[in-house]
Structure 1
Amino acid sequence: MDPEHSAPRPRGLYLITPDEGDTGRLLARLEPLLALHPCWLQYRNKPAGPALRRRQASALVEACARHRVPLLVNDDWRLALEVGAAGAHLGEGDGALEEARAAMGPDALLGASCYDDPGRARRALAAGADHVAFGAFFPSSTKPAARRATPALLRQAAALPAPVVAIGGITPDNGRGLVEAGADLLAVIAGVFDAPDPVAAARAYQACFDPPP
């Protein structure tokens, strides 16, 4: 993202969609959460085929626009470009960041998974990413075999000239410690969508960014 025209550094809840095959149900689950204005929403649906992903991503662009919440697409910058999403998030094997940046333009949000590797984060930023994600910080039901990161890594990442996302097994109870260690955003799937009251859970994550009492 062009630093001369970039928005203020984002800070808050980075909500990620669950694997939901029913587009109507996905939108119904998201509507009250988008009303809370999470910082960003990422569309992620690993089991979905291309047609369903296109349908769902298109529907989410419209829903997010109503609430002024930027939408990023997981794994697929071409789909993000096709549906008019605000950006994309790429992991290992999801294509070159340089190619994605060139195609999406300077104002697109472009994130990179950096796992437990600060060197990868520096290379990702040099290649065109404007924010980086580390984790998993705690055991995660979404990615039980994910590489593990530590809060010390967030303290090291504070020197990076870009927002830092923490992901993996984050709860409202452990999230504040990650924010205090340097996370700008907390990325969450199950902690919100599997909660008995997803709206209350989302608010609890947002409270991790409030000043301590």
Structure 2
Amino acid sequence: MTDAPRLRGLYAITDSTLIADSALLASVEAAIDGGARCIQYRDKRPDAALREHLARALNTACQARGVPLIINDDLALAARIGAAGVHIGREDGALSAARATLGARAIIGVSCYDELERARAAVAGGADYIAFGAVYPTAIKPQAVRASLELLRAARAEFRCPIVAIGGIRADNAAPLLAAGVDMLAVISAVFGEPDVRAAAARFAALFTTPTPEHCP
């Protein structure tokens, strides 16, 4: 597992339906300037060449600012551009394959939805963080399963590795998630859907004031 940058704070996730390609780099830089501690490039479009072009630009910007860039669901792209890591879901291949491809220092996150058993397997397999959600209703994935506060508390009690919450999170509804022990708030619309991305990111960054564990056991 990685000993790379500490996994705590705002985890800002891009979405091509919210940000024009021409504004993507500036928007991500604004999110980092506002306090985002991790960026995920999430782009479901089929144009592989375009996605690689955008991902390379983001990776350069993130590296310059000391913030890891995680690629959503595309291990090959993460490897080609030398991204900090990859985030994998249920249909995105094995964690072991991602580790073998990206190496020991890569950040590999796993979507665990509302499943503690999936989280156990991810932690045992060497995931650097585990993600649960949707924690609130979300327009990005309206049919997503819901992960309760009780599940987050149970995960915090069981696992030492960073826990990420995702889904419908805003600065004004995040407090219960942090109280449940979440380390990172994964946010799409409430950052990149706002007219002032930097200010939106800063509102989330201000919520993080106390340390939590960095790594899985």
TM-score (norm 1): 0.92
- Alignment CA distance shift 1:84-1:7 (3 Å): closer
Unaligned segments of structure 2, at least 5 residues:
211-217
* C-alpha distance in 1 between matches for 2:147 and 2:98: 26
2:125 partner amino acid: A
Residues 37 and 67, structure 1, Cα contact 8 Å, conserved in 2? no
> Which residue does 1:193 correspond to in 2?
192
Residues 115 and 135, structure 1, Cα contact 8 Å, conserved in 2? yes
Unaligned segments of structure 1, at least 5 residues:
none
* C-alpha distance in 1 between matches for 2:32 and 2:4: 20
* C-alpha distance in 2 between matches for 1:95 and 1:161: 24
The answer as to 2:165 corresponding to 1:166 is yes
The answer as to 2:147 corresponding to 1:117 is no
Structure 1, 150-159 or 84-93: larger mean CA deviation: 150-159
The higher relative CO (CA closer than 8 Å, separation ≥ 6) is in: 2
- Superposed CA RMSD in Å reads 1.6
TM-score (norm 2): 0.90
2:65 partner amino acid: H
Secondary structure of 1:92's partner? coil
2:109 partner amino acid: G
Give the share of equivalent positions with the same residue, in percent: 49
The answer as to 2:21 corresponding to 1:16 is no
* C-alpha distance in 2 between matches for 1:136 and 1:69: 24
Residues 9 and 163, structure 1, Cα contact 8 Å, conserved in 2? no
Aligned positions, number:
208
* C-alpha distance in 2 between matches for 1:193 and 1:168: 14
Secondary structure of 1:173's partner? coil
* C-alpha distance in 1 between matches for 2:146 and 2:75: 26
* C-alpha distance in 2 between matches for 1:16 and 1:24: 17
